[in-house]
């Protein structure tokens, strides 16, 4: 039986409706590589019974997004440099992340998801990091071709002995990059699991988490079927979700 994984939705507007949705690559990687069933959670913020939801799922997957966490969530002043926002997603994802950590539910946070994880635990974000001294440009290549935008194009180095290294090994791995924000002040509850060559934090884990609680700034979902480190991440997440489901089932007996 496929264990259920909660996926917080983005809100988009088209065809005169507001839609709550998640991009297919995350869902495909969840089903086909992690072997779990993604359950889309609409971005209704405080209307969501997070403890009740977490009692019925065995994992949480936070997707990337073009939108940014609203700067008021980490004490910064809003500006056009921080836009676009999705405050409905923030109001849903931040409590969901905190609840998953508190309940020990396996958590995989990707790109915006890593940024939400840091903010949910008291950290802050920098915006337009490509303008910071010594930083590379981590934004997506300009292209209408998604394979080009998500191409693998820079190295990250996993911290020896860390949670990420146990999944992908300690040799440097190559990743894609589609972000203009990054961790500024790292939450005291997070450990750095990998950095890019310019020092950008590229992966984190929750200190003391009983199981899988990892955030990555890149997009393993996009090449999860063919790229070994990407596949290993989703396989490890799936294994953690199944282990949690097993404990769940035992507790229910
Ligand atoms: N908006 C934030 C988070 C980055 C992120 O999740 N990128 C995914 C973008 C997907 C796409 O462009 O198709 C940031 O820019 O740092």
CA of 62 to the centre of ligand 1 (A): 12
CA-nearest residue for atom 13, ligand 1, is: 66
Q: How many residues does the chain have?
A: 253
Residue 109: the pLDDT is 99
CB atoms under 10 Å from CB of 160, counted, come to 7
Locus of tokens 């146990």 = 166
What does the pLDDT average to over 12-34? 98
CA of 12 to the centre of ligand 1 (A): 15
d(CA 67, CA 106): 24
C-beta separation of 9 from 40 below 8 A? yes
ipTM value of the model? 0.98
Helix and strand element counts for the chain (H, E): 7, 13
pLDDT category at 112 given cuts 50, 70, 90 is: very high
Q: How far is CA 132 from CA 43, 182, 221, in A?
A: 32, 11, 28
Residue 239 has pLDDT above 80, yes or no: yes
- For residue 49, the SS3 value is coil
What torsion do the CA atoms of 111, 219, 235, 21 make, to the nearest 10 degrees? Answer: 70
Residue 22: the pLDDT is 98
pLDDT category at 252 given cuts 50, 70, 90 is: confident
Distance between terminal CA atoms of the chain?
A: 17
What does the pLDDT average to over 12-38? 98
SS3 percent helix, strand, coil of the chain, rounded to 5, is 35, 25, 40
Percent of the chain whose pLDDT exceeds 90? 96
pLDDT category at 117 given cuts 50, 70, 90 is: very high
pLDDT category at 18 given cuts 50, 70, 90 is: very high
Find the CATH number of the domain harbouring 187.
3.40.50.880
- Quote the number of domains for the chain: 1
- Name the residue range of residue 158's domain: 4-252
Residue 250: the pLDDT is 83
Nearest atom in ligand 1 to 181's CA: 16
Select from 10, 12, 64, 114 the residue to mutate for testing ligand 1; criterion: most ligand atoms less than 8 Å from CB: 64
Residue 249: the pLDDT is 81
Residue 136 has pLDDT above 90, yes or no: yes
d(CA 92, CA 94): 6
* Cross-strand bridge partners of residue 41: 8
pTM recorded for the entire structure:
0.98
Q: Is residue 117 lining ligand 1, measured as CB closer than 6 Å?
A: no
Q: Is residue 242 lining ligand 1, measured as CB closer than 6 Å?
A: no
* Cα 21 to chain centroid, rounded: 16
Nearest atom in ligand 1 to 140's CA: 12
Residue 248: the pLDDT is 83
Q: Where would I find the H helices in 82-152?
A: 87-103, 112-120, 146-149
Where on the phi/psi map is residue 51: left (φ > 0), alpha (ψ -120 to 50), or beta?
alpha
C-beta separation of 20 from 10 below 8 A? yes
């Amino acid at each position: 039986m496929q264990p259920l994984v909660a996926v917080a939705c983005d809100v988009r507007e088209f065809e005169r409706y507001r839609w709550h949705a998640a991009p297919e690559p995350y869902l495909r990687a969840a089903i086909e590589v992690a072997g779990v069933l993604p359950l889309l959670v609409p971005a209704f913020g405080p209307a969501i019974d997070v403890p009740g939801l977490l009692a019925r799922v065995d994992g949480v997957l936070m997707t990337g997004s073009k939108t940014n966490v609203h700067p008021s969530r980490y004490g910064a002043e809003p500006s056009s440099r921080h836009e676009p926002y999705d405050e409905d997603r923030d109001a849903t994802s931040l409590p969901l992340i905190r609840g998953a950590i508190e309940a020990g539910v396996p958590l995989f946070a990707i790109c915006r998801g890593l940024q939400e994880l840091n903010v949910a635990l008291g950290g802050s974000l920098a915006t337009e990091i490509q303008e910071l001294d010594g930083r590379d440009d981590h934004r997506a290549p300009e292209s209408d071709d998604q394979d080009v935008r998500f191409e693998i194009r820079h190295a990250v180095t996993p911290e020896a002995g860390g949670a990420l290294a146990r999944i992908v090994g300690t040799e440097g791995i190559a990743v894609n990059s589609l972000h203009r924000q990054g961790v500024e002040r790292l939450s005291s509850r997070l450990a750095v699991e990998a950095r890019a060559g310019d020092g950008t934090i590229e992966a984190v884990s929750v200190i003391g988490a009983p199981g899988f609680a990892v955030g990555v700034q890149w997009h393993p979902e996009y090449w999860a079927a063919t790229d070994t480190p990407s596949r290993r991440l989703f396989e490890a997440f799936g294994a953690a979700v199944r282990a949690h489901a097993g404990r769940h089932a035992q507790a229910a007996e």
